[in-house]
Structure 1
Amino acid sequence: MFVGKIVGSLWATRKDEKLNGLKFLVVEPTLSDPKTTASLVIAADCIGAGEGDLVMVTTGSSARVSLNKPDIPVDMVVTAIIDKVDYQTD
């Protein structure tokens, strides 16, 4: 999982039929190592997040579990809208 900010949306009129009905969001990872993380990623949304929201993104096979569709071809899903993050750096 990682934390990111929603910076946009993605529309695709032609796609795998298993993706029909899903909303796709453009996410900028924020609490991650910039050397190993893509600057922008696409995640399916199952909670109604919108542009500007700080979100938690679940990745891999766990992402499909949150959609209740184990055969859907996604590996990133927005699973929470974050109200607050507290952490300290050394």
Structure 2
Amino acid sequence: MFLGKVIGSVWATQKEAGMENLKLLIVQPMDLRGDEGGQPVVAADRIGAGMGEKVIVSRGTPARILFKDKTVPIDAVIVGIVDSFEVIEEARHAE
């Protein structure tokens, strides 16, 4: 899992089976300081995240497991909207 910030949306009129009515968002991974931390990813969103919100993203097999009765070609899914987070100062300097 990683922390990220929603920076955009993806609209696709044609999608693979199992992805109908699935909202896709562009998420910029971020480090513990809130700075960009890698390449943006497209993540499925079933919980209603919005532009600019900080989110928790799960990737790989755990992302697909959330779609119990469907086989979906999903690599990343938003699993939480972050209200706040706290990191002790020593951990920030250890990065």
What TM-score range do you get, normalising by the shorter chain?
A: 0.7 to 0.9
* Identity of matched residues, %: 39
- Give the counterpart letter for 2:52 in structure 1: G
For residues 45 and 68 of structure 2, what CA distance do their matches in structure 1 show?
A: 13
Q: Deviations over 1:54-90 (max 9, x none)?
A: 0000001000122334521101000000011111312
Are the structure 2 counterparts of residues 7 and 82 from structure 1 closer, same or farther at C-alpha, using a change threshold of 3 Å?
A: same
| Structure possessing the higher radius of gyration over alpha carbons | 2
Q: Which contiguous aligned blocks of 4+ residues in structure 1 show a shift greater than 6 angstroms?
A: none
Q: Which runs of 5+ in 2 are unaligned?
A: none
Q: What is the CA RMSD across the aligned residues, in angstroms?
A: 1.7
- Give the counterpart letter for 1:29 in structure 2: P
TM-score by length of 1: 0.86
Are the structure 2 counterparts of residues 62 and 70 from structure 1 closer, same or farther at C-alpha, using a change threshold of 3 Å?
A: farther
Equivalent residues of 2:5, 2:27 under 8 A apart: yes
